[in-house]
Amino acid sequence: MLRRDFLSISSIALGAGLTANTTRAAETAFTAKPKDVAMTSAAPVSQGDWSALRDLFPLTRNYIQLSTFLLASHPKPVSDEIDRHRRALDENPSDYWHEHGLTIDADISNAAADYMGGNGSQIALTDSTTMGLALVYSGLQLQPGQEILQTTHDHYSTDLSLAHRAKRTGASVRQVPLYEDPATVSTESLVKNLLNGITAKTSVVAVTWVHSSTGVKLPIRAMADAIQTINAKRDDADQILFCVDGVHGFGIEDQDISQLGCDFFIAGTHKWIFGPRGTGVIWGNDRAWSRCEAVIPSFSRSYDVWLGNSRQDQVPIGEHMTPGGFHSFEHRWALPAAFQLHQQLGKENVQQRIHQLNTHTKVGLAKMSHVKLYTPMSSSLSSGLVCFDVAGVTPDDVVKRMHNKGIIMSSTPYRQSYARFAPSLLNDEDEIDYALSEIAAMS
Q: Give the whole-angstrom CA distance, residue 118 versus residue 123.
A: 8
Q: Give the whole-angstrom CA distance, residue 319 versus residue 300.
A: 7
pLDDT tens readout for residues 318-346: 999 999 999 999 999 999 999 999 999 99
Q: Which residue range(s) make up the domain with 394?
A: 2-65+347-440
In a shared domain, residues 96 and 218: yes
pLDDT band for position 299 (cuts 50, 70, 90): confident
Indicate the pTM of the whole model: 0.90
CA dihedral 205, 211, 215, 219 (to 10 degrees): 20
**Positive or negative CA dihedral for 181, 186, 190, 192?**
negative
In a shared domain, residues 38 and 180: no
**Who wins on pLDDT, 20 or 354?**
354
Q: Is residue 73, in this structure, part of any structural domain at all?
A: no
CATH of the domain at 186: 3.40.640.10
pLDDT tens readout for residues 67-114: 999 999 999 999 999 999 999 999 999 999 999 988 899 999 999 999
Contact present, 212 and 252 (Cβ < 8 Å): no
Quote the pLDDT of residue 43: 60
Q: Is residue 365, in this structure, part of any structural domain at all?
A: yes
Range 279-307 average pLDDT: 88
Spell out a b/e string for 170-205, using b for 16 or more CB atoms within 10 Å of the CB, else e: ebebeebebbeebbebeeeebbebbeebbeeebbbb
In a shared domain, residues 328 and 425: no
pLDDT tens readout for residues 248-269: 999 999 999 999 999 999 999 9
- β-pair type (410-411, 419-421): antiparallel
Neighbouring residues of 281: CB distance < 8 A, sequence distance ≥ 6: 109, 112, 116, 123, 124, 125, 126, 132, 266, 267, 269
Q: Give the whole-angstrom CA distance, residue 343 versus residue 403.
A: 33
CATH of the domain at 55: 3.90.1150.10
Tell whether the model's pLDDT for residue 26 goes beyond 50: no
Tell whether the model's pLDDT for residue 203 goes beyond 90: yes
Range 52-69 average pLDDT: 96
Question: How high is the mean pLDDT of the chain?
Answer: 90
Element (H, E) at 384: none
Quote the pLDDT of residue 404: 97
In a shared domain, residues 361 and 327: no
**Who wins on pLDDT, 10 or 137?**
137
Contact present, 41 and 56 (Cβ < 8 Å): no
Q: Is residue 70, in this structure, part of any structural domain at all?
A: no
Tell whether the model's pLDDT for residue 1 goes beyond 50: no
Q: Is residue 88, in this structure, part of any structural domain at all?
A: yes
Q: Give the whole-angstrom CA distance, residue 279 versus residue 264.
A: 17
396: three-class secondary structure by DSSP? helix
Q: Give the whole-angstrom CA distance, residue 30 versus residue 61.
A: 10
Lowest average pLDDT, out of 36-40, 301-305, 377-381, 425-429, goes to 36-40
Quote the pLDDT of residue 101: 87
Quote the pLDDT of residue 54: 97
In a shared domain, residues 187 and 321: yes
Which of 292, 320, 343 is a domain's end point? 343
- β-pair type (407-408, 64-65): parallel
In a shared domain, residues 332 and 391: no
SS3 of 212-236: CCCCEECCHHHHHHHHHHHHCCCCH
- Residue 373 burial (CB < 10 Å; 0-12/13-18/19+)? buried
In a shared domain, residues 12 and 100: no
In a shared domain, residues 389 and 310: no
Q: Is residue 71, in this structure, part of any structural domain at all?
A: no
Q: Which percentage of the chain shows pLDDT scores above 90?
A: 81
Element (H, E) at 352: helix 347-366
Write out the DSSP string of 164-220: HHHHHHS-EEEEE-S-S-GGG--HHHHHHHHHHH--TTEEEEEEESB-TTT-BB--H
Q: Give the whole-angstrom CA distance, residue 112 versus residue 339.
A: 7
In a shared domain, residues 234 and 334: yes
Contact present, 151 and 208 (Cβ < 8 Å): yes
Quote the pLDDT of residue 303: 66
Q: Give the whole-angstrom CA distance, residue 56 versus residue 78.
A: 10
Range 293-319 average pLDDT: 80
Q: Is residue 203, in this structure, part of any structural domain at all?
A: yes
Q: Is residue 75, in this structure, part of any structural domain at all?
A: no
Q: Give the whole-angstrom CA distance, residue 355 versus residue 375.
A: 13
- β-pair type (410-411, 172-176): unpaired
Quote the pLDDT of residue 212: 96
Quote the pLDDT of residue 103: 87
In a shared domain, residues 124 and 216: yes
Task: Give residue 386's identity as a one-letter amino acid code.
Answer: V
Q: Is residue 76, in this structure, part of any structural domain at all?
A: no
Contact present, 278 and 331 (Cβ < 8 Å): yes
In a shared domain, residues 364 and 222: no
pLDDT band for position 315 (cuts 50, 70, 90): confident
How many domains, in total, are found in the chain? 2
In a shared domain, residues 60 and 91: no
pLDDT band for position 207 (cuts 50, 70, 90): very high
